[in-house]
A and B are shown apart, each in its own frame.
Chain A
Amino acid sequence: MRVAVIGAGVIGLSSALCIHEQFHDLVPSLELEVYADHFTPHTTSDGAAGLWQPYLSDHGNLQETLWNKETFDYLLGHLHSPAAKEMGLFLISGYNLFTEPVPDPSWKNIVLGFRNLTPKELELFPGYSYGWFNTALMLEGRSYLPWLTNRLMQRGVKFFHRKVESFQEVSEDGVDVVLNCSGMRAGELQPDPELQPGRGQVIKVLAPWVKHFIITHDLKSGTYNSPYVIPGSEFTVLGGIYQHGNWSEENSAKDHKFIWDSCCRLLPALQKAKIVREWSGLRPARPSVRLERESIRLGNVQAEVIHNYGHGGFGITIHRGCAMAAARLFGTILQEKKQQLPRTPGPRL
C-alpha cells in the first residue's frame, strides 16, 4: 500500500509520522513517501516563530479548538523528554495586549496560568489598557521539522524533492492514498477559492534579554496586523503583518518600517537589537481547516485523497490534532479497502 504525502511543512511531516506510527505494524506493505518542492528550512513552517497560540476567537469552530488542545497537551507531555531540545520545544510566558476589554479566548484553559494583567503590568505597555498573561509553548519549526524528518527517515519513509503537479500524477504512479498537505498551494492541485494567502513579514533580531512573548491586538485591523515580539531560542521574531490576498513573498520596505517602528515603541529596549534576517511568507488562510476525505475518479482509478490544509497562522498550534484526525481518516480508508478484498487465509492487508 503506497501512501504519498504532498508537502513537507509541519502538517505534511506530522501527518506522515502519525500514519506511520499507527499503521505500519498493521500494514506491513505500507510504503510512505513524502513529496515536496520545499523542505526545511525553506517551508512556511520554518518562517513562523513557533508560538503555540490560536486566534482570539474560534468562530464557533469547536473542532479546531479540540485539535489545538490535543496539540498543546501532546507537546506539554514531551516537555521533559530528552528530545525536547532537539524538537525545539520549550515553555514560554508572555502578554496579549488590547486597547479595550475582550472576552476570554477559547484556549484560556488549555494554556497554563491564564490570568488578566494587573495595572502595574499594564504600565509596561502604554496605549494598552487590558491584557492577558499566560504560559504557553514554543515549537520552533527550524528544529521541529528536522526532528520530524529524522524520525520519518529512521522509519524508512522516503523523501522526493519534486513538485507534484496533480493528484493524477501520483495516482497513475500507483499511489493508493494521497495526503494533501500542500498548504498555500493546495489550489494548484485542486481549485479552492476559500484558500487565500495571509501574507506575513517578520524581522529576526538578536535580543536575548527578551524572555516573554508580547502580542498586541488591534481589533479593527484584525489578527496579526498589530505588532508582536516572540523570543525564540536564538533569535527574537518581530512581526505584525497580515495581508489577505497578497501573494508576494518579497520583503516590503514599508512593512519593515511598520514592524520595526511599532515593535520598538512597544519594547524600547529593541532599539539596540541587531537585525539578522528578514522573511516574508504566506499563511494558508481559510475560513476553516480543510480536513476531509475525498474519493476522486482519476482516469481508470479511484484515488483516495485526505485533505489537510488551510491552517492559516496556527499550523504549529493545531498540527498534532489535525495529524491524528488525518490518521483516523486513513484508518477508515484502510478498513474500507480491507472489506473490499476477497477473504483469504492470512491475516492482513
Chain B
Amino acid sequence: MASPKVAVVGAGVIGLSTALCITETCPSCSVTVLSDQFSPNTTSDVAAGMLIPHTYPDTPIHRQKQWFRETFTYLFAISNSADASEAGIHLVSGWQVFKSTPKEELPFWSDIVLGFRPMSEAELQKFPQHQFGQAFTTLKCDCPPYLLWLEKRLKATGAQMSTRRVADLWELHSEYDIVVNCAGVGAHQLVGDKELFPVRGQVLKVHAPWVKHFIRDGGGLTYIYPGIHRVTLGGTREKGSWSLSPDPGATRDIFDRCCSLEPSLRAAQGMEVKVGLRPSRQCVRVQREILSQGGVKLPVVHNYGHGAGGFSVHRGTAKEAAQLVGECISALQGSSSRAKL
C-alpha cells in the first residue's frame, strides 16, 4: 500500500492532533480531516485548555500519566519557542484550593507539572473559605489559536481539511483505507456508543487582564483560568444534558462563585457566555476495530471520550492512536501481500 488514505473524523483538539501525529509517524499517508465543525465552533474552542488532568475511572493511572506526560512535554517545548504566541501556548501559575483537606494530597500528575507544593498559611489567607491548597505551574492551550496552529501545521504536511458531516463511518470506506474516529461527543450518534454521554459545561469569558493566576476549587466545579486575551470562568457539570443554549441563571451563579474566589473579577468587562458538551466516558476509548459489512472490511481507530480532560492528554492519546493507525496499515499491507500469494 503505497499511500494509505486516512480519514480523520472530527476537527477538535483530538482530531487535529491525531491527524498531525499520523502525518508524523506515517509520512506516506494521505490524511484528510472531515468534520461538520472547525474552529472556532468545536467543543475544544469552549474549553479553557488547562493542563490539569481529569481522572478517568476505568483507564489505568499509569496510562493516563503517560498521556499527560507526553502532552506536557510536547507543549512545554512549544511554549518555550518563538511559536508560542501563535500556538496559544503559555505557562500559568496558580492554586488549587480545597474547603477540606482532600483524601489524595498528591495527585498522580503532581510530578509532571512544575513546582507542585502545598500552599503556605500566608498563601491560604487569600482564600478564607478554604483550608488546604496546592500551588503549581502548568500550561494552557488557548483556543482558537491552538487549533488554528494545528490546522496550519497539518496543511503544511499536505493534509486536507474538509467540511462534511459524516453520519456513518461506512460512508467513507470507498474513499479511504482507514478511518480514525475523533468525533468527541458526536461518537454517541456516529458509532452508537451508549457509554459516551455529554457533561454540559457553561463558561464565561471575560476581560480581566490583571488576573495572572489560575484558581481552581478542588472539586473542579469552580475555576478561573486566565488565557491570552480573556479569562475563562467556570463552570457547570450537567450530566446527560445536550443543550448548547446558555443558561442565564448559571451565568450569574458561575460569576458569583468565581468572584468569591477572586473578588477583583467584579470589575471584569465584556462577558461572553459559551457552552460545550464534554464527551465523557469512564475511560478514553483509544482502540482499533475492524468493521465488517458484506465481506468488506474497514479498519477503524477510535480516539474519543476524553471528557473534561481532552487538552491534558490530547497529544498522548493522539500518538497512541497514530500507532494504532500504523498497526492497521501493517495489517492491510500484510493481508494484501497474502492476497498476492
Any B CB within 8 A of the CB of A273: yes
| CA A194 to CA B190, docked complex, whole Å | 78
| CA A196 to CA B266, docked complex, whole Å | 43
| CA A124 to CA B91, docked complex, whole Å | 11
**Residue among A82, A92, A209, A231 with the highest chain B CB neighbour number at 10 A:** A209
Q: Shortest distance in angstroms between B70's beta carbon and chain A's nearest beta carbon? A: 15
B84 to A93, Cβ gap below 8 A? no
| CA A231 to CA B90, docked complex, whole Å | 13
B123 to A210, Cβ gap below 8 A? no
**Surface stretch bound by B, among A144-152, A184-192, A264-272, A300-308:** A264-272
| CA A81 to CA B264, docked complex, whole Å | 8
A91 to B86, Cβ gap below 8 A? no
Any B CB within 8 A of the CB of A293: no
Produce 1/0 per residue, A230-255, CB < 8 A to B. 01011000000000000000000000
B93 to A208, Cβ gap below 8 A? no
B210 to A90, Cβ gap below 8 A? yes
| CA A113 to CA B121, docked complex, whole Å | 9
Any A CB within 8 A of the CB of B252: no
Given contacts A85-B267, A91-B213, contact A115 B117 (CB under 8 A): yes
Any B CB within 8 A of the CB of A161: no
Any B CB within 8 A of the CB of A37: no
Interface magnitude class on chain A: 35 or more
Enumerate chain A residues within 8 angstroms of B62, measured Cβ to Cβ.
Answer: none
Given contacts A233-B209, A233-B210, contact A209 B93 (CB under 8 A): no
**Total A-B residue contacts, Cβ distance less than 8 Å:** 94
Any A CB within 8 A of the CB of B229: yes
Q: Residue A272 contacts which of B82, B115, B117, B267 (CB distance < 8 angstroms)?
A: B82
B213 to A207, Cβ gap below 8 A? no
Interface magnitude class on chain B: 35 or more
Q: Shortest distance in angstroms between B89's beta carbon and chain A's nearest beta carbon? A: 8
B80 to A135, Cβ gap below 8 A? no
A90 to B212, Cβ gap below 8 A? yes
Residues of B102-129 contacting chain A, CB below 8 A: 114-115, 117, 119-120, 122-123, 126
A112 to B122, Cβ gap below 8 A? yes
Given contacts A84-B264, A90-B210, A112-B122, contact A120 B114 (CB under 8 A): yes
Enumerate chain A residues within 8 angstroms of B92, measured Cβ to Cβ.
Answer: 211
Produce 1/0 per residue, B148-172, CB < 8 A to A. 0000000000000000000000000
Enumerate chain A residues within 8 angstroms of B122, measured Cβ to Cβ.
Answer: 112-113
A271 to B82, Cβ gap below 8 A? yes
| CA A81 to CA B90, docked complex, whole Å | 29
Q: Shortest distance in angstroms between A78's beta carbon and chain B's nearest beta carbon? A: 11
Q: Shortest distance in angstroms between A127's beta carbon and chain B's nearest beta carbon? A: 13
Could you write out 14 A-B pairs with CB less than 8 Å apart? A82-B266, A85-B210, A91-B213, A113-B122, A118-B114, A121-B114, A121-B115, A133-B137, A208-B209, A211-B91, A211-B226, A268-B80, A269-B79, A269-B85
Which residues from chain A sit less than 8 Å from chain B, CB to CB?
79-82, 84-85, 90-93, 112-113, 115, 117-118, 120-121, 124, 133, 135, 138, 207-212, 231, 233-234, 268-269, 271-273
Instruction: List 3 tightest A-B contacts by C-beta distance, closest first.
Output: A269-B84, A90-B210, A209-B90
